[in-house]
Homo-oligomer: A and B are copies of this chain.
């Protein structure tokens, strides 16, 4: 076996490497199409929704699907290449929705089962996007319709029966997105991504209740949030009156912390 000395980096010979690259043919490998799909989640009046579009083009014409599209691998007639996969995700989605300035975007997973798309081998990199309440989307190219669909219509949540069966394997991708969002609320400060820049503790609690589908103890939640360093920062302001009476709550903004110590665990009911 190699000893320590042998583990030093080997040479990367410049001249030979240049000659190799000059003679390289990128068409030599079997192509697979690479797409990005975006599972955009938001909360509208206390109910979690996912953004879906109705396909106007084949295959699976007429079905609801995640907004997605092909990654631009190289500069071409359609436009410049996507510098990285998150750029592709935001490009594809902004063709269909007006996005907030700084949405939370994270990679969810990559789906490449043979036969998941009838046209050819398609590898889809799925992204999870969390956003505060966005305006209704407008349908884009190849799209008959675009809408925010409640999770419950896809069978997620307490006793919800599925009413929509998305195209391809997108039902599974949405399920993964929902589960990712639920578990990330436990140990990250991600819930604030569902809220506008300034919010009250009660709004934050409603995010948790909507995503987890379970009521939380308001008083203890309040204390726990304030006791978690870096989760929220006091703006010093109060929310405008709600109209129906009650004390005006303080306004907070997202703090610097990404991870929560300690986490907020959801346990059994």
Residues of A near any B CB (own CB < 8 A): 1-2, 4, 6-13, 16-17, 20-21, 24, 26-27, 29-34, 54, 58-64, 70-74, 76, 81-85, 88, 107, 109-114, 118-121, 123, 125, 136, 144-145, 147, 149, 153, 163-165, 187, 261-263, 265, 267
Contacts and interface: CB of A to CB of B under 8 A. Distances in A.
A73 B147 contact: no
Contact of A12 (B61, B71, B136): B61
A20 to B, nearest CB: 4
Tell me the dominant secondary structure on chain A's binding face: loop
A165 B120 CA distance: 37
A263 B114 CA distance: 36
Nearest to A144: B10
A118 B21 contact: yes
15 contacts: A12-B62, A17-B58, A26-B31, A29-B33, A31-B32, A32-B34, A32-B73, A34-B34, A88-B112, A107-B109, A107-B110, A123-B123, A187-B187, A261-B267, A262-B265
A186 to B, nearest CB: 9
Number of copies: 2
Nearest to A8: B163
A109 B107 CA distance: 7
A265 B162 CA distance: 37
Contacts of A17: 58-61
A121 B73 contact: yes
A76 B28 CA distance: 13
Contact of A10 (B9, B61, B70): B61
A145 to B, nearest CB: 6
A248 to B, nearest CB: 32
Contacts of A61: 10, 12-13, 16-17
